Structure 1
Amino acid sequence: MLLPNGGVAGAASHAEAEFELKGVPPLLLLTEVDIEQRTAPAERLISEIPVLPSSEGERRSEEKEKKLCEILGPFDGEPSAQEMVERLRALDVHSEVRTLQLPAGPGYWVYLEPEPNRKAALRKLAELQSRGVDSYVIPKGEIENGISLGMFSKKSLADSRMAEAERMGLSPRMQTIERTYREVWVMLNHQEDEKMSEISWSRVLEDKKMLQRRENFCLDVAS
């Protein structure tokens, strides 16, 4: 029997039989699917997704990142900071001296391009100083053997220095760098501040009224 597309009915039946023999499952109409399966709530689907617990190492790492320590300072130097460590130790409060590098804002460095070698740089320096130019040889770094014409905290001052050097026939360059400064603090070990009452602090700081108490992330201080 011919089908509308030119096929043979018997051939179609034979093809269906081949699919059945090969284990291909029959098509399932949507109307034949159980209504409960088609309308499963989202909560049920989500609950079936397994939640993998974080490793113990990750959990401890997160806890460590959140640790805060009390810090005291800044001190005028390490000897006075060490004296405070001893005062706290007498109260069974453990702490350490820490030197912190803090941002000081941008600096503007005016300089001349490096000379081929140290000898040439010293010769250039002597020439500049004979003309009254305040300068020095840069001893190391990316512009080693260059000639520094000054470091300035304000760009307007650096621009003035650049203009002055150009009037003298020089070819200065400017580089912006991030400056830092050092402060000495005493950092209490993690949770050691819980041993201190406000009365204890007032006694410890009786002759150190200018010191500040702050909280900061612990910096590898033993807990």
Structure 2
Amino acid sequence: MKWFALALLLVNGALWLYGDSFVPKRVAVVSEQQTLPRVADLRAASSANQQKPSSEPLPSSEPELGQVETVVEPRDPLPQRYCVRLGWFENADAAREAYLLLGSPGIAHDIREEERELAPLHWVIIPPQPADRALALFRDLQRRGIDSYLVRRGENKNAISLGLFESTRAAEMVLEEKKRQNLNAILANFPRNQISYALVFEDELMPDSGAVEAAESDYANNFDLVEIRRCEGVATVSENP
């Protein structure tokens, strides 16, 4: 009995010393006093987040370091071919001489013969009549010393011309004089064409630079006809002066 009590005492002491190693570890629970956030604190935090600058960089319109920006320089306009037509000349030799006096400008040149209609002359005439009467009247005028001639062909055949005038006033004065001489004269228009010559050549001018206008103004001082326009195809035939 004594040994049984001693053994029980030893077992109890061993359990007291090593009992914690046989029991699972306890989980410590720490209780702290916590409070809910106030509404004012939430609003303040929200405003702070909105005012916080973004960490992402804003796009820049300037080229980045190391990036080469391509700059396209405007090109100068190229000269264009213009056809120049100048006139009028009485013959081809006069046109060639004018081309040499101009310094032989342009790429190629040509001399053109053209029939052009001029302003009609003012014609003082006695209207057509039968051939025998027209001839008798013409002889009477010649005897009286009145300058006249008999028209022998055309739509005014057998009319008697008393003068051709460029000036309207001069023609009217002669008409009044002939009527005072009891002549049945009238005033009519005398159409006329004339063979003239024009100088045509090609030149290179810079468009939209005032060069065309300057050339027109310069040529207008010496020529009655001045035409400058862009060439379409081959406009002239090269001719050696």
Shorter-normalised TM range: 0.3 to 0.5
After TM superposition, the score normalised by the length of structure 1 is 0.47
Bigger helix fraction = 1
Query: Radius of gyration: which is bigger?
Result: 2
